[in-house]
Chain A
């Protein structure tokens, strides 16, 4: 059996793991809520992925990324999620792009040039507005499961605008809308539009825009709203929640050199 390379992305909400072969081909993926013991979660994801890959060997090398990257005891190296999302998207799309990653606790915009080199990146301010945490708060206020949001937003016939920048203020706004009898579907749609508003405030988003992260993976309506806002399509890579883990696995395989050539 050939060499196996592992990438683990321990995010604020969930842990994602990808195994790739020496050629960068994806062998298996696994995901779990990050929980409180990151090392144990990462190891369970590894075992799940190895079984899914028909009993793949122990990884030859592992790179960890995400907030819990220093907690993965079987990783030899760490990289930031900014590096890994960039590499994961580049591997899939091979073109200049602006990556929008909407995560559980933060948002990132990463610009890659036509060679896959990162030109610039931005992270949201410390505030959780526009992140997955915001949608979790909205779901809580509306007595919904987070997993229900996308279907409800799709059913909305109108959008209820949430003007506040602050998550706490937005929840207060929601209370006011509920008192006035606004439909829940419209409020959810408004929350999705609020997420998109926070994203387009971060960056002009020029060129090809690629959306990644768990929030867009579970809520494709957000991608549609972003595309409508930008007036052009937004690309979703294969398995958008796993692009960080994929980038980490490609780094472990040493494929970053081939995929991100240094300028002459």
Chain B
């Protein structure tokens, strides 16, 4: 059923992105060697802006987790963490990353000539996505004796109340003395405002990128977006992120103007809910493209759009941005959100990825897919897999389920 030759159109801007991302990693590597600049490790949806305002170079272990998954290095590394007592059932970013540390190898060495992952001066987490990040960072806290601080965010929230916000703003402010001590710099509110403003501009550009996929045919796939989101995750708050996205947007708009599709002959439009299966990104992209399906949008890639960073108070902006995320919210909020996405992107089918080691990013465990399908009439399929641990993924079952969903669409045989 699928076409053997690729129907995916590559994005030229990716070359520039790789250059900018390479600069980021080389800068971190240099700092790790010379110790002339302080390094902070930060969760991907965490208080990076606050850290940058103190002059820290910021490294995101979750990004490294994705690199370990997409390079398929994770397969050999996860068991090393399992053997140290980190269960195969917990976050496979965590087990991949700790396995990478234990093995002393990372794809970053080959890709960017780095010695290894850059050793931090401080570890800063936000539990808005899950508790695993705290336990992940705690491994390195024990290993290296570096300080660890964090934000403890409530979860499954419906409306965000002033009580929630007051507590979270207070937690952000409470980090300041520790960050002053580790960085050796006094807190500078004006600098924080500058960084937050830059992050806001970055996420607005990223939002624009994603929303261009609403065009029919879409100039962008979800699989492209998982790569293109790199600067929005690791470079937001820096000039490089703001430099990159206008170039990408121009290319996508040119595609739209020329009537070019990311998937040649786009017939159907799907939504991806949950984590990517990083080690199968290319395979999934090719299978869908071969069936004339463009997976146009995802909750995952949308999760780096932070509207509240535009608030006048940067603390309020950060606290709200990192709490109003989909992953932090109630089932009712998630259902309404997905319904909006189905309408916005004219979605024909929804893929739910039930990631074994990532329950918080698996939004199919409380009956949501069926409720949403019943109310919208849009069919869905749930695949069992994982973000990084391919031992938990069945190639044949997944392939069949994708194909069966396409067969089920109106007008198909």
Of residues 376 through 413 on chain B, the ones whose CB sits less than 8 Å from some CB of chain A are 379, 381-382, 384, 392-394, 396-397, 400-401, 403-404, 407-408, 410-411, 413
Write out the residue numbers on chain A whose beta carbons fall within 8 Å of the beta carbon of B384. 125-126
For the complex, is B1 an interface residue (Cβ under 8 Å from A)? yes
Write out the residue numbers on chain A whose beta carbons fall within 8 Å of the beta carbon of B379. 120
Write out the residue numbers on chain A whose beta carbons fall within 8 Å of the beta carbon of B400. 67, 80-82, 123
- How far is B392's CA from A11's CA once the two chains are assembled, in angstroms? 22
B393 to chain A, nearest CB (A): 7
How many residues on the B side are at the interface (Cβ–Cβ under 8 A)? 20
B374 to chain A, nearest CB (A): 10
Write out the residue numbers on chain A whose beta carbons fall within 8 Å of the beta carbon of B394. 126
For the complex, is A78 an interface residue (Cβ under 8 Å from B)? yes
Of residues 60 through 78 on chain A, the ones whose CB sits less than 8 Å from some CB of chain B are 67, 77-78
B127 to chain A, nearest CB (A): 28
B397 near A262: Cβ-Cβ < 8 Å: no
**Given A123-B400, A125-B384, A251-B413, A80–B393 Cβ distance below 8 Å?**
no
- Which B residue sits closest to A79, measured CB to CB? B407
- Which B residue sits closest to A83, measured CB to CB? B407
Write out the residue numbers on chain B whose beta carbons fall within 8 Å of the beta carbon of A123. 397, 400-401
Write out the residue numbers on chain A whose beta carbons fall within 8 Å of the beta carbon of B401. 123
B252 to chain A, nearest CB (A): 33
B413 near A121: Cβ-Cβ < 8 Å: no
- Which A residue sits closest to B379, measured CB to CB? A120
- How far is B284's CA from A11's CA once the two chains are assembled, in angstroms? 23
**Given A82-B404, A123-B400, A126-B394, A262–B410 Cβ distance below 8 Å?**
yes
A257 to chain B, nearest CB (A): 7
**Given A120-B379, A251-B413, A67–B396 Cβ distance below 8 Å?**
yes
B392 near A80: Cβ-Cβ < 8 Å: no
For the complex, is A106 an interface residue (Cβ under 8 Å from B)? yes
Write out the residue numbers on chain A whose beta carbons fall within 8 Å of the beta carbon of B382. 122
For the complex, is A118 an interface residue (Cβ under 8 Å from B)? yes
For the complex, is A256 an interface residue (Cβ under 8 Å from B)? yes
Write out the residue numbers on chain B whose beta carbons fall within 8 Å of the beta carbon of A126. 384, 392-394, 397
Of residues 118 through 136 on chain A, the ones whose CB sits less than 8 Å from some CB of chain B are 118, 120-123, 125-126
**Given A106-B397, A123-B400, A80–B407 Cβ distance below 8 Å?**
yes
Write out the residue numbers on chain A whose beta carbons fall within 8 Å of the beta carbon of B397. 106, 123, 126
- How far is B413's CA from A78's CA once the two chains are assembled, in angstroms? 11
B404 near A83: Cβ-Cβ < 8 Å: yes
Write out the residue numbers on chain B whose beta carbons fall within 8 Å of the beta carbon of A83. 404, 407
B1 near A262: Cβ-Cβ < 8 Å: no
**Given A120-B379, A123-B400, A256–B413 Cβ distance below 8 Å?**
yes
Write out the residue numbers on chain B whose beta carbons fall within 8 Å of the beta carbon of A263. 410
A228 to chain B, nearest CB (A): 27
Mask: chain B, 320-346; 1 = CB below 8 Å from A; 0 = not: 000000000000000000000000000
- How far is B397's CA from A44's CA once the two chains are assembled, in angstroms? 26
**Given A67-B396, A80-B403, A81-B400, A121–B408 Cβ distance below 8 Å?**
yes
Write out the residue numbers on chain A whose beta carbons fall within 8 Å of the beta carbon of B410. 262-263
B364 to chain A, nearest CB (A): 12
Which of A80, A81, A251 gathers most chain B CB within 10 Å?
A80
A101 to chain B, nearest CB (A): 12
Write out the residue numbers on chain B whose beta carbons fall within 8 Å of the beta carbon of A122. 382
- How far is B411's CA from A79's CA once the two chains are assembled, in angstroms? 15
- How far is B381's CA from A257's CA once the two chains are assembled, in angstroms? 24
Mask: chain A, 225-255; 1 = CB below 8 Å from B; 0 = not: 0000000000000000000000000010000
Of residues 195 through 238 on chain B, the ones whose CB sits less than 8 Å from some CB of chain A are none
Mask: chain A, 22-52; 1 = CB below 8 Å from B; 0 = not: 0000000000000000000000000000000
B404 near A262: Cβ-Cβ < 8 Å: no
Mask: chain B, 68-105; 1 = CB below 8 Å from A; 0 = not: 00000000000000000000000000000000000000
Of residues 78 through 137 on chain A, the ones whose CB sits less than 8 Å from some CB of chain B are 78-83, 106, 118, 120-123, 125-126
- How far is B400's CA from A263's CA once the two chains are assembled, in angstroms? 25
- How far is B119's CA from A64's CA once the two chains are assembled, in angstroms? 55
A115 to chain B, nearest CB (A): 12
Q: Return 18 A-B CB contacts under 8 Å, by A number.
A: A67-B396, A77-B1, A78-B1, A79-B1, A80-B400, A80-B404, A81-B400, A82-B400, A106-B397, A118-B407, A120-B373, A121-B404, A123-B400, A123-B401, A126-B384, A251-B413, A256-B413, A262-B410
Task: Tell me the A residues contacting B by CB distance below 8 Å.
Answer: 67, 77-83, 106, 118, 120-123, 125-126, 251, 256-257, 262-263
10 nearest CB pairs, A to B = A82-B404, A126-B394, A80-B404, A83-B407, A125-B384, A80-B403, A126-B384, A118-B408, A80-B400, A78-B1
Beyond contacts A82-B407, A121-B381, A126-B394: 15 other A-B pairs, Cβ-Cβ < 8 A, are: A77-B1, A80-B404, A82-B400, A82-B404, A106-B397, A118-B408, A120-B379, A121-B404, A123-B397, A126-B384, A126-B392, A126-B397, A256-B413, A257-B413, A262-B411
